[in-house]
Amino acid sequence: MNLIRNFRNWRAYRDTVNELGRLSNRELADLGINRGEIAAIARRSV
């Protein structure tokens, strides 16, 4: 069970990083995010 949960958390993290990474700097700024914060925000999402 732990392995499955860890895998799902990792996928959610990667999906969040990829989605935010596709946004332009302008779109990120509209959300109040800069590129350096993407990994931290993705970690908080899981």
Number of structural domains in the chain: 1
Range(s) of the domain holding residue 6? 2-44
Quick check: 39 and 21 in contact, CB under 8 A?
A: no
pLDDT per residue as tens digits for the range 7-36? 999 999 999 999 999 999 999 999 999 999
DSSP string, 1-46: -HHHHHHHHHHHHHHHHHHHHHS-HHHHHHHT--GGGHHHHHHHT-
pLDDT for 38 beyond 90: yes
User: What is the per-residue pLDDT across 1-11, written as a single tens digit (0 to 9) for each?
Assistant: 899 999 999 99
Q: Residue 43 pLDDT more than 90? A: yes
